[in-house]
Amino acid sequence: MKKSAMYSVVALATAGLITACGGGNSNNAVNSDPEVNLVTVKNNYVAMAAAVYDDSYIAAVELQTATAAFLENPSTETLASSRAAYKTARKPYQQSEIYRWDTVSLIGGSDDLAADGGLSSVDDWEGQVNAWPLDETKIEFIIDNPAIYAAINAQLLIDENGTLPAGTEDEANVTTGVHAIEFMLWDRDVSAQGPGPRLASEFGSDATCAITPSTTECRNSAYLQAAADLLVDDLVAMKAEWEVDTSDGDITLAEHFLSFDEEAFGYILQSIASMSVGELGGARLSAGLWRPADTQPTGIVKTGDYEEEHDCFSDLSHYAVYYNFQGILNAFKGTYTRTDGSVVGDSAQSFGAFVNSFDTQSFTDLSDRLAEIKDNMDVILDAGEAGIKSFDGIIADSESAYENPGDGVRTAELIALEAAIQGLGEVEEITKLIAEASAITGFDSSETGETD
């Protein structure tokens, strides 16, 4: 997905969170629950972030391992195992994206993070981990041209400094990350009725490639393994930024976040708004849908675009967007369920509990809205998992409804998707009320845009 400038500098008036003016709510004058405060909320938030990035790293290692086993002996069975590992990896990573926003730009601060050699934000790594759309044509060009491939084979995806080769980091030339792995495992999505048709026979085994490494099959194998290896390396860096470790003197994102006082509240609030509206509601759910002119602010017909559907190669878009939304829920409710089933966090020390301590009405409104969205996201997930309706199929439904507006034809899945998009827009409106009730200055919902 395309990057755009999206961050406003959010500064909280300290007195505002103590005396909390504005908003017109009867319970917004004082933090009425002394058991929840910004210190406990911040610590809880960081604990969840550390856990979800750790799970993402563990899942990436498992995907790397499954990929290596597949390439050792390409078969229908080992390919299926690699694909299953890809799906498993999407669950924690998609929940991690709520933590992507840049603490330096979003809540102010120095350039200490970049100066000490670390990331200025997790989003610095996102472009080569989860960026969309993928340039699959460029990947095929590299693989299908032995001379070009041989020239960059030693640094297929990364150079000696561990960064992308010149040109590939541009959003128009995305050739790395989970979607590169997805493309190699499934191939192009040529049907609305299923995923890409990649065969195990399109890859060379380790033994074969040790003898004839220049074949297309062996170049496919090398590219897939390199992409999986790079993904693990990137997640090592990303998870380290949400760990608190003062032993090395470097400042991690977690330590930077914890060093802020009231500004941290604004960071979480705008992260929820950004993920809800610009990212999930806009770029991931609505971007691929058809829309008649009377539903568009510009009055121009919006045609659907399958290229805007994330995880299209695998037909797992329903899964990816569901867990994106789960990440928003986690941030609000203060708990994250790890891949092994254990729970990290404490709802009593959640962002939502803190909001409830000074603005009960907005807390209730946001809780209700998120519950309604989850009901609709459940419909989308269940349909996709049961094979009833893929995201491709929902896009096709929107085209049919657009072409025959008088018939009122809308499938249950399209209705649920449209309701989810509307609900995510309403989340943004509620965050504005919370901003008013907590006297946040500089909160600007127009700055909540999409990222990769």
pLDDT digits (tens, 9 = 90+) for 229-266: 989 988 998 888 888 876 766 778 888 888 877 778 88
Mean pLDDT over each residue of the chain, to the nearest integer: 81
3 state DSSP class of 157: coil
> Quick one: average pLDDT of 362-368?
97
> Quick one: average pLDDT of 156-178?
55
> Quick one: average pLDDT of 372-387?
97
Tokens of 98: 């709520």
Tokens of 316: 């797992």
Q: How far apart are CA 263 and CA 247, in angstroms?
A: 26
Tokens of 235: 């997640």
> Quick one: average pLDDT of 153-177?
52
- What's the pLDDT score for residue 300? 79
Angle (nearest 5°) at CA 270 between 331 and 257? 70
| pLDDT bucket at 148, cuts 50 / 70 / 90 | low
Q: How far apart are CA 445 and CA 101, in angstroms?
A: 14
Whether the link from the prior residue into 133 is cis, omega within 30° of 0, is yes
Q: How far apart are CA 176 and CA 158, in angstroms?
A: 9
| pLDDT bucket at 97, cuts 50 / 70 / 90 | very high
Q: What angle do helix axes 38-72 and 76-96 make, rounded to 10 degrees?
A: 170
> Under CATH, what is the fold of the domain 11-447?
A middle domain of Talin 1 (1.20.1420)
